[in-house]
Every structure is written in structure tokens, then in C-alpha cells.
């Protein structure tokens, strides 16, 4: 079985910051099991617990140690059951310890009471299995992990490195595999793939990929380019286990109306009453200015926004540019801050989606439209730039019944606020395994290198990862 690398047609999954500038620090701490509580165990329920633990590879937890002693002693069995239940119900690791910022709502079931009921009913195994996510995506990940795990830790990469670089115009039996990966990663149109010849279209795709990752863009496929496209089966299994863990971190039944931003894939999904109604590209934080994993609602739309330049951007990127630069970009000093006035040059574009959080992170428009055509869209200072943001704002205004107020606000040409009648929850997630139109898992690159800290905490080790090269495209948030 092969799991693809980096998907194109993807179904939705689903410091105090200085205006969209976040730094995270790794941690390998894991969530402790709950303290033991008295409960009536029997041979049958103890065997169910042991059987569940023996099958924990189905959840990517086979490298974690959940000790269950022999016999039917109450306290050790209860302690082990609650520890494993916690791992399934809300994750074996604590994202708030792994990341400096993590505020996405998490599940918090009453595991002690659940265990008591399971023991009373003699259904400890069923109860444990019910705690993990029950959706089709999680089951697909589980199946893929088990299949890859059977192939062994030393499985080879899909595309072998023969030692000699592959140059444009060459003929090679590996070309179909390389083309397939370029298609999956959005660098190559499907119609341009085919045959064993390294075509000009493929070379152009490879050059763009090389530029994104800071490799000399010469179109020659050497070891570095293959490493970006390629993963071993062990790497694939690790990525899948990490993403199962991330699914266990989040609510099993999220709000029916919400906005999910997958930072790793740089895509936004808008859900309305439980149905996916819109998906579009976004630009998120570049490496070293990562967009954090937040749960934060939109509470108002801002037409014709001003932008108060944060100190960090002011000092690092604008200082010393002089009054001519400020004038050209419609900026002026106000009370000791540089403020950019409304208009087409404003770095927030023509609409801002105001959100409630302590990190100055929000969604907004942008005048830098070409960035949406990039394959890797980790290009901002941490905030989320939305493709066709005006269209998206109009969609939200219509759905929330404030379209007339929104149109009037836009027509003023001045910064004007339109409060939404109800807040719309936004979840900024980080998923590097998505699903194609057939429902099969597709592995994307890990742009921030955030998989490693989760993998280490799960006992899965780390892997070599080529990170995107920050390019400082503009001064926008």
C-alpha cells in the first residue's frame, strides 16, 4: 500500500504576538495518566483492557508504554485504563506543552465516571474504543498506519536515488513516479504527466519546488530534490500517527457553523450548519513567523481597515526607509505608531475579519494577490490572508443577515465596523495528512517542522524534513 505525498484536490478535514508574529518552542512532555480510582474489575474486564492495549497500534500508539501488571489488582488496572482512555479521548500528548500557543478547543470527557459505567456493564473494551475519533478519516488513517507498519521500519523510499542526478530531457523509469508526486504536490498539471521522459513542463515544476525550498533552481533532480518528494514507508507511518494524535486533540463534535484553517496546507474551509459550503486558498505565516494553532471567533467585519504597523515589523522592515516610502504606501505617524490608511495599498486589503484572541491574529484581505498562486503559501508574518476576501466577507454577511450593513460600510471608503449577530468560531489547525477525492490519505510536507515534537512524544523519533525558505515577500501581517 502506498500513501501519496502532498495533495492537490483536497477535501477539508477538517509571546503575546506582535501583530501576527509567533515563536514556538518544542517540548517533549506528555500528558500524565489520571490517578487511580477504586473500581470493580473482573477477569473479563481485565482481559478486555489488555486486549485493547495490545491493539493500540490501530491508533498509532504502539511505541508508547501502557503497563498492565498480571492479575486483577484494582489500582494498577484502573491507572492503566485511565491513562489509555486519556490518550484515546484527548491525546497521548498535551499540545499546550508541545507548543507555546495552542488554544483550539479540546475534548474533556469524564473518564473516571465512564470507566465506572464500563466496569458495571462489563464493556471496558467497547468503552475504550468509543473514545477515539469515530469518523471515516480517522479510520482511513488507522488502516494506512497498520499497513505501513507491517512493511517494517527499514522500508525504502518510493523513488530510489540511483546516485546520478536526473537532468531535463533524460529518459528514466522513475519519471512516472516523480511526475505523480509533482502532480500530487500541485507543482505539475496532471495533463503534463506521462511517459518516461523528463519533459520541459516537469523541469519547470521542479525548478519552482527547488526555489521554494532554497535549493538552486536548475531543474536537475538530485538527492535534495528527491528527498523533498520522497518519504520512506517509516516516514509515512510516522506522519500518519502524528496526525491521528492531532485528531484526538480536537472536539469530536465541533460547531456546525465554523471556519477551519489548515495552516500546513494553507487552505480555509467554511462549514455552515454541519455542511462544507466553501473552501479556498489562504496565505499563512512563513517559517519563523508561524501562524499559531488557535481557537478564536470572528466577531465583526471591518470594511476599509487601517493597519497599525506592529513594532516588530516597523523596526525590522520599515525603519530607515524614510518619508517617501511612507507617503508612497499611504502611511503616516500617529501617536508614535506608523498607521497605514484605508485603500488598495493597505496591507490588510479592503476587509479584515476581526477575531478575539490575545495574539493579534486575524483573517484579512491583501493587495499581494500573486501569493495565492504559489504552491507553498507560508508567506505572511503570521496572520491569515484570504483568497477573494471580499467575496468571502460578502458570503458571511449574507449568511449572518448583515449584507445591507456590510454594503453601506464598504461604500463609506472609511474604516467601518459591522458586528456579526453571532460569533463564528475559527479553528487554526495543523494537519499534514489530508484526503483526496477518493477518501485516501495524502501526505503533505511539514512546512514548520512541527511533526517532530509530536512524533518524539509518541516514541516515534524524528525524520529529515526540508523546510520552506522564508522569502520576506512583503511587510504585511
What residues have CB less than 8 Å from 253, skipping those under 6 apart? Answer: none
Query: With 90 as the cut, is the pLDDT of residue 316 above it?
Result: no
**In this structure, what is the dihedral angle of CA atoms 308, 302, 379, 472, given to the nearest 10 degrees?**
-20
Residue that finishes a domain, picked among 102, 133, 164: 133
- Region of poorest pLDDT, from 91-100, 152-161, 189-198, 453-462: 152-161
Cell of 460: 516515534
The pLDDT value given to residue 198: 95
Q: pLDDT band at residue 71, thresholds of 50, 70 and 90? A: confident
- Region of poorest pLDDT, from 222-226, 381-385, 394-398: 222-226
Q: Is 381 a catalytic residue?
A: no
Mean of the per-residue pLDDT values of the chain? 88
The pLDDT value given to residue 26: 38
Q: Span 116-131, mean pLDDT?
A: 97
Any domain includes 123: yes
Any domain includes 69: yes
Q: Are 225 and 218 in contact (CB under 8 A)?
A: no
Which range scores top for mean pLDDT: 2-16, 426-440, 455-469? Answer: 426-440
Q: pLDDT band at residue 186, thresholds of 50, 70 and 90? A: confident
Q: Which residue has the higher pLDDT, 409 or 232?
A: 409
Any domain includes 290: yes
H-helix or E-strand spanning residue 233: helix 233-249
Residue that finishes a domain, picked among 104, 133, 162: 133
Q: How far apart are CA 477 and CA 313, in angstroms?
A: 8
Q: Span 28-52, mean pLDDT?
A: 71
Q: pLDDT band at residue 38, thresholds of 50, 70 and 90? A: low
Cell of 4: 501519496
Query: With 80 as the cut, is the pLDDT of residue 35 above it?
Result: no
The pLDDT value given to residue 212: 85
Among the listed residues 20, 59, 359, 364, the single catalytic one is: 364
Cell of 123: 464493556
Any domain includes 44: yes
10 Å CB burial of residue 473 (0-12, 13-18, 19+) is middle
- 260 and 401 housed in the same domain: yes
Any domain includes 213: no
For residue 278, CA distances in Å to 176, 257, 258, 285, 351 come to: 33, 12, 11, 22, 18
Q: Is 359 a catalytic residue?
A: no
Backbone φ, ψ for residue 7 (5° rounding)? -90, 155
What is the pTM assigned to this prediction?
0.86
The pLDDT value given to residue 444: 81
Q: pLDDT band at residue 158, thresholds of 50, 70 and 90? A: confident
- Region of poorest pLDDT, from 15-24, 146-155, 345-354, 442-451: 15-24
Q: How many domains is the chain built from?
A: 2
The pLDDT value given to residue 36: 46
Q: Return the residue matching grid coordinates 484605508.
A: 342
Any domain includes 417: yes
Within its chain, how far is the Cα of 334 from the centroid?
37
Query: With 80 as the cut, is the pLDDT of residue 159 above it?
Result: yes
The pLDDT value given to residue 344: 87
Phi-psi region of 258 (alpha: psi -120 to 50; beta: other; left: phi over 0): beta
The pLDDT value given to residue 47: 94
Query: With 60 as the cut, is the pLDDT of residue 53 above it?
Result: yes
Q: How far apart are CA 119 and CA 267, in angstroms?
A: 44
Q: Are 127 and 115 in contact (CB under 8 A)?
A: yes
H-helix or E-strand spanning residue 240: helix 233-249
Domain holding 363: CATH number?
A: 2.40.440.10
Cell of 270: 467554511
What residues have CB less than 8 Å from 344, skipping those under 6 apart? Answer: 350, 367
Reading across the β-sheet that carries 331-334, which strands appear in turn? 307-308, 337-340, 331-334
In tens, the pLDDT along 271-307 reads 999 999 999 999 999 988 999 999 999 999 999 999 9
The pLDDT value given to residue 473: 58
Range of the domain at 110: 23-133
Any domain includes 186: no
> Roughly how many angstroms between the first and final C-alpha of the chain, as a whole number?
42
- Region of poorest pLDDT, from 119-123, 157-161, 264-268: 157-161
The pLDDT value given to residue 371: 93
Any domain includes 457: no
For residue 158, CA distances in Å to 118, 155, 222 come to: 44, 9, 15
Q: How far apart are CA 352 and CA 304, in angstroms?
A: 8
Q: pLDDT band at residue 8, thresholds of 50, 70 and 90? A: very low
Cell of 452: 517532530
Q: pLDDT band at residue 145, thresholds of 50, 70 and 90? A: very high
Q: pLDDT band at residue 132, thresholds of 50, 70 and 90? A: very high
For residue 220, CA distances in Å to 185, 228, 286, 300, 360 come to: 18, 13, 26, 49, 42
Q: pLDDT band at residue 215, thresholds of 50, 70 and 90? A: confident
Q: pLDDT band at residue 20, thresholds of 50, 70 and 90? A: low
Residue that finishes a domain, picked among 133, 168, 189: 133
Within its chain, how far is the Cα of 52 from the centroid?
29
By percentage, how much of the chain surpasses pLDDT 70? Answer: 89
The pLDDT value given to residue 81: 96
For residue 147, CA distances in Å to 92, 142, 150, 239, 460 come to: 22, 9, 5, 14, 16
Q: How far apart are CA 239 and CA 218, in angstroms?
A: 29
Amino acid at each position: 500500500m502506498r500513501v501519496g505525498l502532498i495533495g492537490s484536490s483536497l477535501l477539508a478535514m477538517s509571546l503575546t504576538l506582535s501583530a501576527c508574529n509567533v515563536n514556538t518552542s518544542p517540548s517533549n512532555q506528555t500528558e500524565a495518566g489520571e490517578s487511580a480510582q477504586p473500581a470493580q474489575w473482573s477477569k473479563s474486564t481485565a482481559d478486555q483492557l489488555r486486549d485493547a492495549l495490545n491493539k493500540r497500534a490501530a491508533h498509532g500508539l504502539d511505541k508508547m508504554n501502557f503497563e498492565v501488571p498480571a492479575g486483577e489488582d484494582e489500582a494498577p488496572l484502573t491507572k492503566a485504563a485511565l491513562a489509555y482512555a486519556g490518550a484515546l479521548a484527548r491525546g497521548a500528548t498535551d499540545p499546550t506543552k508541545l507548543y507555546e500557543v495552542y488554544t483550539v478547543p479540546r475534548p474533556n470527557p469524564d473518564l473516571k465516571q465512564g470507566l465506572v459505567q464500563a466496569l458495571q456493564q462489563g464493556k471496558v473494551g467497547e468503552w475504550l474504543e468509543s473514545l477515539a475519533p469515530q469518523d471515516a478519516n480517522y479510520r482511513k488513517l488507522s488502516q494506512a498506519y497498520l499497513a505501513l507498519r507491517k512493511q517494517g521500519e527499514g522500508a525504502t523510499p518510493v523513488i530510489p536515488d540511483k546516485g546520478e542526478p536526473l537532468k531535463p530531457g533524460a529518459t528514466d523509469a522513475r519519471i512516472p513516479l516523480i511526475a505523480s508526486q509533482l502532480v500530487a504536490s500541485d507543482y505539475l498539471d496532471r495533463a503534463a504527466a506521462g511517459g518516461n521522459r523528463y519533459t520541459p513542463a516537469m523541469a519547470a515544476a521542479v525548478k519552482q519546488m527547488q526555489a521554494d525550498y532554497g535549493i538552486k533552481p536548475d531543474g536537475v533532480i538530485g538527492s535534495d530534490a528527491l528527498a523533498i518528494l520522497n518519504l520512506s514507508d517509516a516516514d509515512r507511518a510516522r506522519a500518519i500517527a502524528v496526525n491521528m494524535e492531532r485528531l484526538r486533540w480536537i472536539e469530536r463534535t465541533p460547531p456546525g457553523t465554523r471556519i477551519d484553517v489548515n495552516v500546513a496546507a494553507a487552505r480555509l474551509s467554511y462549514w455552515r450548519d454541519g455542511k462544507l459550503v466553501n473552501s479556498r486558498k489562504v496565505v499563512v505565516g512563513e517559517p519563523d513567523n508561524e501562524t499559531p494553532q488557535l481557537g478564536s471567533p470572528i466577531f465583526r467585519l471591518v470594511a476599509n481597515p487601517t493597519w497599525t504597523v506592529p513594532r516588530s515589523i516597523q523596526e525590522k522592515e520599515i525603519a530607515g526607509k524614510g518619508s517617501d516610502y511612507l507617503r508612497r504606501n499611504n502611511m503616516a505617524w500617529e501617536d508614535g505608531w506608523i498607521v497605514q490608511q484605508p485603500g488598495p495599498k493597505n496591507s490588510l486589503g479592503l476587509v479584515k475579519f476581526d477575531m478575539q484572541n490575545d495574539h493579534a491574529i486575524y483573517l484579512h484581505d491583501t493587495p499581494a494577490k500573486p501569493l495565492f498562486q504559489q504552491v507553498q503559501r507560508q508567506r505572511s508574518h503570521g496572520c491569515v490572508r484570504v483568497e477573494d476576501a471580499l467575496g468571502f466577507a460578502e458570503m458571511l454577511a449574507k449568511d449572518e443577515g448583515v449584507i445591507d450593513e456590510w454594503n453601506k460600510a464598504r461604500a463609506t471608503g472609511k474604516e467601518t465596523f459591522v458586528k456579526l449577530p453571532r460569533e463564528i468560531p475559527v479553528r487554526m489547525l495543523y494537519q499534514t495528512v489530508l484526503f483526496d477525492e477518493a477518501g485516501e490519505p495524502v501526505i503533505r510536507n511539514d512546512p514548520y517542522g512541527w511533526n517532530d515534537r509530536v512524533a518524539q512524544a509518541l516514541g516515534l523519533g524524528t525524520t529529515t524534513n526540508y523546510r520552506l525558505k522564508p522569502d520576506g515577500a512583503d511587510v504585511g501581517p
